[in-house]
Amino acid sequence: MKVKATLETIALFGALMISPVLASAQQQAATQGQQAAQPTTQTAQPQQSGSSTSGSSHRSKAKNTPQPQVSIPQRQTGAGGERLEPDDTNRMPSDVPTEVQSQRREEQSEDEAAIAASYNNFFEHYRLGPEDVVSITVFGQDRYSKPGIVIPPNGRLYHPLIPEGIFVSGKTVEEVTEELKKRLDEYIIDPKVAVTLDRAVSYRYSVVGEVAQPGIKPMNRRVTVYAALAEAGGVLDTGSKKNIFVIRRLSDGRLSQIPVDIAAVERGRAPDSIYLAPGDQVIVPGNRTKTFKNILNLLPILSFARIFTGGF
């Protein structure tokens, strides 16, 4: 019992001695924490003041700098004062100004005129014939439209509503269109008909003589004499470019001979302005080289003939 009382007395004495030390240590730690916190707050304050001053300076500069003026388009208003937004999706051709429409028509007419000049109105005056390919389009009536019709040798164009057919050989596409409109008007109210020429092969011309590829050629466009010779492979070395001529049958049945100097065309001294007509024949005669070769080919025959005449 005495030992227990002694130990309790020692523990109480130690606690009394340690408590002042702990209190002083806690006080020193608190003071150090306050001192460490004070510099951070002080440094933070200058930053806030600096940012405020810079912000004020930027604001002053922004006020002083002139802003660009932007013109805002005025919106259209209706009868009741409501705003109307432009809607291009619902625009009709009639909404386009007449000046713009006329300008577009002029541009289209100029393009068409340029194309017509390049083709020399060939297909406007083209007369249909056997083996030509045409297409008939009846708008709104697909069952009565027929694409890729080859004109037979009898020159008649057949249609489901016209069993006996229409004679089209020697007629233009416009003439056939008008004829079909009249015939189909008996079955269809106000028919809209279009006849197009898909392939033109009934017009032909021929090139014979001293060319690489003589023969009959189809005329699916206006062709000059120079272009016809080029398509025939060109004039050979034995052909005369100065004495080429074209044989053409006139309307009264007589034959006309048209001379062409291709050598002058190649040198730029004459224009390439002679166009062929359907049925024309381009003849390329031989030159001196051709004549000399013909003489050389005849020499063996002449030497063989001397045997029968008694000469050697």
Read off the pLDDT band of 14 (50, 70, 90).
low
Q: Which of 167, 182, 202 is the last residue of a domain?
A: 202
Residue with tokens 């000049």: 117
Q: 244 and 182 in one domain?
A: no
Mark 213-237 as b/e (b = at least 16 C-beta within 10 Å). Answer: ebeebebbebbbbbebbeebeebee
Q: Is residue 107 part of a domain?
A: yes
Query: Percentage of the chain surpassing pLDDT 90?
Result: 38
> Do 195 and 228 share a structural domain?
no
Domain boundary among 157, 187, 202: 202
Residue 252: what residue type?
Answer: D
Count of domains observed in the chain? 2
Average pLDDT over residues 44-49: 43
Residue-wise pLDDT for 148-187, tens only, equals 999 999 999 989 899 899 999 999 999 999 999 999 998 8
Pair type for strands 156-159 and 162-167: antiparallel
In the structure, what pLDDT confidence band is assigned to residue 74 with cuts at 50, 70 and 90?
low
pLDDT, one tens digit per residue, over 88-124 is: 445 555 555 666 666 666 665 665 555 555 555 677 7
* 49-to-43, 45, 53, 57 alpha-carbon distances in Å: 10, 6, 6, 12
* Residue 235 to residue 233: CA distance in whole angstroms: 7
Q: What is the mean pLDDT of the chain?
A: 75
* Range(s) of the domain holding residue 183: 99-202
DSSP H stretches of helix in 65-168:
98-119
Per-residue pLDDT at 123: 74
User: Would you place residue 47 in the very low, low, confident or very high pLDDT band (cuts 50, 70, 90)?
Assistant: very low
Minimum mean pLDDT among 31-35, 202-206, 242-246: which range? 31-35
* Predicted confidence (pLDDT) at residue 234 exceeds the cutoff of 70: yes
Residue partners of 98: CB distance under 8 A and separation at least 6: none
Whether 241 is covered by a domain: the verdict is: yes
In a domain, 45, yes or no: no
Residues 176 and 255 in one domain: no
Confidence class of residue 58 from pLDDT cuts 50, 70 and 90?
very low
253 plus 176 within the same structural domain:
no
Looking at the structure, do residues 141 and 218 belong to the same domain, yes or no?
Answer: no
Is 164 within a domain?
Answer: yes
Look at residue 85 and tell me whether its pLDDT is greater than 60: no
In this structure, what CATH number is given to the domain that contains residue 178? 3.30.1950.10
Asked if residue 109 and residue 196 are part of one domain, the reply reads yes
> Could you tell me if residue 283 is inside a domain?
yes
Q: Between 105 and 61, where is the model more confident?
A: 105
Q: Are residues 120 and 192 both part of a single domain?
A: yes
**Do both 103 and 198 map to the same domain?**
yes
Residue 284 lies in a domain: yes
Q: Do 251 and 191 have their domain in common? A: no
Angle at 29 between CA 26 and CA 35, to 5 degrees: 145
Whether 264 is in a domain gets the answer yes
Q: Which of 117-126, 220-229, 296-305 has the lowest mean pLDDT?
A: 296-305
Based on the fold, state whether residues 186 and 234 are members of the same structural domain: no
Q: Against a cut of 0.75, is the pTM above it?
A: no
Is pLDDT larger for residue 74 or for residue 42?
Answer: 74
My answer on whether 213 and 198 are in the same domain is: no
233 with 145, same domain: the answer is: no
* pLDDT value at 59 more than 50: no
CATH code of residue 284: 3.10.560.10
Q: Identify the pLDDT of residue 13.
A: 60
In a domain, 258, yes or no: yes
Q: What is the pLDDT of residue 154?
A: 93
Whether residue 291 has pLDDT greater than 80: no
For residue 178, what pLDDT is reported?
94
202, 220, 242 - which closes a domain:
202
